[in-house]
Amino acid sequence: MTNPVTTQQNGTIPAQPGPRETAEAMSGVIQGAGPNGKPGPDPSARSADAALPGVGPGGPSAWSAGAAVPGVGSGGQAARSADAVAAGSALSGQSGPGQAVDMVIPGAGPSGNPGARPTVKLREADPDDPPRYAPEWLELREPADAAARAHDLLDPLRIRLANLPGRSGGVVIHDLGCGTGSMGRWLAPCLDGAQHWILHDRDPYLLHFAAVASPRSAADGSRVTVETRRGDVARLTADALHGASLVTASALLDVLTREEIDALAAACAGAGCPALLTLSVAGRVELTPSHPLDSEIAQAFNDHQRRDGLLGPDAVTAATEAFSEHGATVRLHPSPWRLGPEQAALTEQWLRGWVGAAVEQRPELRARADAYLAERLAACAAGQLRVTVHHTDLLALNRPAGGAS
């Protein structure tokens, strides 16, 4: 696995990345890269092995729900995101409960085969590269993510950043599992002062999207610059974070193992930087009106999130313990999605993935889940369904390097 601090190719990231570019990692600074940069699609096709559409102002551009492209989880880490499981791919040719494949945004519907997360690689990708995931799911959930993140954690973070040694030169922020860069689009405009963002992800294609759509300026108009690093964030070390002012991530903790969370906490403590880790699943979902099958589906989904040693809804507790053991002061704040009629498209896709993952975990639920999903989708379409998906944001304030408090 590529080390996050090792780059295979240096230089400025092209303004118009395409699928025929090398699949090697790229690392370079985009001076003030912002939403006006638009990587263009391959004019020849919109198929799975053709170019993905571009990123425009405010995030990814419009997508075709029936496009045959693979899915993305919230954090962009290939095949690891909990919301990629709750939003796994529908590309296997099999539909999930009560749905047709072409009705599901790729990456937002349930997996067709138990234990399988079908993906598609671009034509020119190296065989050993992780799959390229299309940004539809990230685009769909980005407004809900932004509304849910805990603003109450920003003031203590601003105070800590203002008191860090070397602050006069600006801050260096590492965004782990950045996906298409929604965390930077939300956080950079909330902070004053010059910022240099280092975007980490395993997928170089998503790194292009994140870099091009990154903000140009901070809250006070100071300059924001961007660098990309391809690698496995689960292997991040204190050396990789040398000089970091802040580590941040969105929907990452719940797709890590306990050992990986321990390593992340140790790396942040070793670098003496705070960590803002948002939107970790809490394992609680509320649907109104209620249904007798709600709790059974929720439990099966939570069990699905814990497969293969991942922590799922137990991640925030494990992270709190890990950061605290390294001397950090940890603050938690709820960050729920609150989905009503205005978010019907997101609710529909979330429902398909949520139920699909539950059935993947417990196939004996399928017959009842078919009827349940059909009933819930009908209520959603009629504007009668409201859903609260609970998440938790975590701020860990480590002791700055050098022992200052």
What pLDDT was estimated at residue 169?
78
Assess if residue 327 is contained within a domain: yes
Assess if residue 150 is contained within a domain: yes
Exposure letters 285-306 (e unless 16+ CB within 10 A, then b):
bebeeeeebeebbbebbbebbb
Contact at 8 Å (CB) between 248 and 221?
A: no
What pLDDT was estimated at residue 33?
32
What pLDDT was estimated at residue 271?
92
* Tokens encoding 199: 């975007």
Taking the C-alpha atoms of residue 138 and residue 160, their distance in angstroms, rounded to an integer, is 30
Residue-number span of the structural domain to which 162 is assigned: 28-283+311-336+391-405
Assess if residue 301 is contained within a domain: no
What pLDDT was estimated at residue 65?
25
Assess if residue 226 is contained within a domain: yes
What pLDDT was estimated at residue 50?
25
Segments in 57-163 forming alpha helices (H): 82-85, 136-148, 154-162
CATH of the domain at 70: 3.40.50.150
Q: CA angle 61-64-357, nearest 5°?
A: 105
- Phi and psi (nearest 5°) for 231? 170, 180
Per-residue pLDDT of the chain (405 residues; tens, 9 = 90+): 333 322 333 332 333 233 222 223 333 333 333 333 333 333 222 222 222 222 223 333 222 222 222 223 333 433 343 344 333 332 223 334 333 333 433 333 333 333 333 333 333 445 555 444 456 788 889 999 999 999 999 999 999 999 887 666 799 999 999 989 999 999 999 999 999 999 999 888 889 889 999 999 999 999 999 999 988 777 788 888 988 999 999 999 999 999 999 999 999 999 999 999 999 999 999 999 999 999 999 999 999 999 999 999 999 999 999 999 999 999 999 999 999 999 999 999 999 999 999 999 999 999 999 999 999 999 999 999 999 999 999 999 998 875 544
SS3 94: coil
List the beta bridge partners of residue 230: 201
Assess if residue 183 is contained within a domain: yes
Assess if residue 106 is contained within a domain: yes
Assess if residue 162 is contained within a domain: yes
What pLDDT was estimated at residue 123?
35
Contact at 8 Å (CB) between 136 and 106?
A: yes
Residue with tokens 């349930």: 110
Exposure letters 323-335 (e unless 16+ CB within 10 A, then b):
beebebebbbeeb
What pLDDT was estimated at residue 134?
53
Give 4's contacts (C-beta < 8 A, 6+ positions apart): 200, 229, 230, 231, 232, 233, 235, 236, 240
Domains contained in the chain, number: 1
Q: How does DSSP assign 285-330, residue by residue?
A: EEEES--TTHHHHHHHHHHHHTGGG--GGGHHHHHHHHHHHTT-EE
What pLDDT was estimated at residue 145?
96
Assess if residue 173 is contained within a domain: yes
What pLDDT was estimated at residue 204?
85
